[in-house]
Chain A
Amino acid sequence: MVEKAADATARATPTSVAHRVRGLSDRAIAWLFIAPTITLLLAINIFPLIWAIYLSFTNYRANRPNAPVQNVGLSNYERVLTDPDIWQAMQATAHFVFWTILLQTVIGFTLAYLIDRKFRGHAFWTTLILIPMMLSPAVVGNFWRFLYEPQIGLFAYAVSLVTGIPTADIQMLGNVSLAPWAIIIVDTWMWTPYVMLICLAGLRSIPDYIYEAAEVDRASAWRQFWSITVPMALPFIMLAVLFRGIENFKMFDMVTLLTGGGPGSITEVASITLKRAAFESWATGRASAFAIVLFVAVFGLANIYVKALNKVKQR
């Protein structure tokens, strides 16, 4: 039946096309298939990267496209790397990335471990936990802004109920020391399910016979957790950390919607500083240099991270 269909298709192919395809080697056909992907990759990723590297050595301004472009050497990099404001933005980014990853990994793995127990209704709870991840960041940002409202927000009301502090004093987005944590809470709420999903895949991939063998050897639940569960789920946890780390370095939408970088510039992460340099000061060359600095940092870290991941997988 299948052969007949194949014969029919072969007969229906115009002779000119059949001759052309017959003349191609397997390698050529493989290249033909991946050529569109490679072309897209070059156009969307590689070309802008090379263009940004070029722009970072010039005084180009995107709002003056006809002005002569001059080579300024390393001065854009010098400015980026000696500017205390950009340095502060880097620290804000580091604070945000560190705490979000730590909280998301700990809570995500704990949730995955609990869901993996396969209790009654675990599928329902899994779906419920995954909902924040499916929402648009724009929706989540606006939604949490209302929750954080000191007068009408549910968050302020709940905190007030527990601690006894008046709701008017719980200024999550207006207080210098609370605003960074407000963003961390929202990002953790939204992306912990993603980490949980990856950890759950890791936990489900551990074969049951390993636990059975450990029970025969009278290993305690604590010992099983540290000697079987954690080491075998570690590559998955590391992958989740890598994905979230790269994503959080670029965090822009949530911060813009919640605080816009304020109060003052306390929550101004690197991507917001970059956007201000590129589209408010129109210093395209300097913004490109800053983008390249961030790229090198993430690329370098991803390299050592992949090396560590491979080592863990080989164990």
Chain B
Amino acid sequence: MTHLVETPRPSRPKRPFFLRRGPMENIATTLIAIGFLMLFQPFLLVLYTYSLVTLLAGTAMFIIVSKFPE
């Protein structure tokens, strides 16, 4: 009778959340999308006013985090 002995894989040290490309890119993409909608929506002027800040934050973040390793 043989038993399968599962040996734990040597785990790679995980990068902190804010240094991981995937989730940070998703956050940046969401910010850009929100900023874009704020810029072109017809409902509230205040949303239009803050759209550029949101868009800029998202775009700058996207440029930076897309250089992170996978």
Residues of chain A whose beta carbon lies under 8 Å from any beta carbon of chain B: 77, 81-82, 84, 87, 90-91, 93-94, 293, 296-297, 299-301, 303-304, 307
Contact = CB atoms under 8 A, between A and B. Distances in A.
Contacts of A299: 59
Given A91-B40, A304-B62, A296 B52 contact: yes
Q: How many B residues are at the interface, by size bracket? A: 20 to 34
Contacts of A81: 48-52
A303 B52 contact: no
Nearest to A90: B40
B45 A304 contact: no
Interface stretch (B1-9, B10-18, B30-38): B30-38
Contacts of B19: none
Nearest to B46: A82
B51 A300 contact: no
A131 B59 CA distance: 38
B58 A82 contact: no
A82 B45 contact: yes
A300 B35 CA distance: 9
15 contacts: A77-B52, A81-B49, A81-B50, A81-B51, A82-B45, A87-B45, A296-B59, A297-B35, A297-B55, A300-B32, A300-B55, A303-B62, A304-B29, A307-B29, A307-B66
A81 B50 CA distance: 8
Contacts of A304: 29, 32-33, 62
A87 B48 contact: yes
Contacts of A293: 39, 52
Given A303-B62, A304-B32, A93 B45 contact: no
Contacts of B62: 300, 303-304
Nearest to B58: A300
A299 B39 CA distance: 14
